[in-house]
A = this chain, B = another copy of it.
Amino acid sequence: MALERHLGCRPVETGPLDVVGVGNALVDVISLESDEFIGRHGLAKGSMELVDPERAVTLYGAMGTTIEQSGGSAANTLAALASLGGRGGFVGRVCDDQLGAVFAHDIKTVGIEFPIPPATSGQPTGRCLIVVTPDGERTMSTFLGAAGELDADDIDEALVARAEVTYLEGYLFDQAAAGEAFLRAADVAHRHDRKVALTLSDSFCVERFLGGFRELVAGTVDLLFGNESELCLLYETKDFEEALGRARVDCAMVAVTRGAAGSSVVTDSMRVDVPAVPVAKVVDTTGAGDFFAAGFLYGLTHGHDLETCARLGSLASSEVISHVGARPEASLAQMAVPILG
Chain A residues engaging chain B, CB cutoff 8 angstroms = 1-4, 6-10, 32, 53, 56-57, 60-61, 63-70, 79, 97-99, 102, 105-106, 109-110, 124-125, 143, 145, 325, 327-329
A325 / chain B contacts, CB cutoff of 8 Å: 67
- A64 cross-chain contacts in B, Cβ below 8 A: 109-110
Write the nearest CB–CB distance from A95 to chain B, whole angstroms: 9
Chain B neighbourhood of A328, CB < 8 A? 65
- 8 example contacts (A-B, Cβ-Cβ < 8 A) are as follows A3-B57, A6-B57, A9-B61, A32-B329, A61-B105, A66-B102, A67-B69, A97-B98
Known A57-B6, A124-B4; contact A67-B67, beta-carbon cutoff 8 A? yes
CB distance from A120 to the nearest CB of B (A): 13
Query: How far apart are the CA atoms of A106 and B60 in the complex, in Å?
Result: 10
- Tell me the complex Cα distance, A316–B32, Å: 19
- Report how far A228 CA is from B9 CA in the complex, Å: 40
**Chain B nearest Cβ from A338, distance in angstroms:** 22
- Please state the number of chain copies in the assembly: 2
Query: CA of A328 to CA of B65 in the docked complex: distance in angstroms?
Result: 8
Residue of B nearest to A66 (CB): B106
**Across-interface contacts of A98 in B (CB, < 8 A):** 97-99, 124-125
User: CA A51 – CA B64 in complex, angstroms?
Assistant: 30
CA distance A323 to B146 in the complex (A): 32
Shortest Cβ distance from A328 into B: residue: B65
Q: Are A68 and B68 in contact (CB under 8 A)?
A: yes
Report chain B residues within 8 Å CB of A67. Answer: 67-69, 325
When distances are taken between beta carbons in the complex, the residues of chain B under 8 Å from A53 are 2-3
Given A8-B60, A124-B98, A329-B32, also A106-B65 (CB < 8 A): yes
Contact, CB under 8 Å: A79 / B65: yes
State whether B1 touches A124 (Cβ < 8 A): yes
A3 to B97, CA, bound (A): 13
Among A61, A69, A98, max chain B CB count under 10 A is at A98
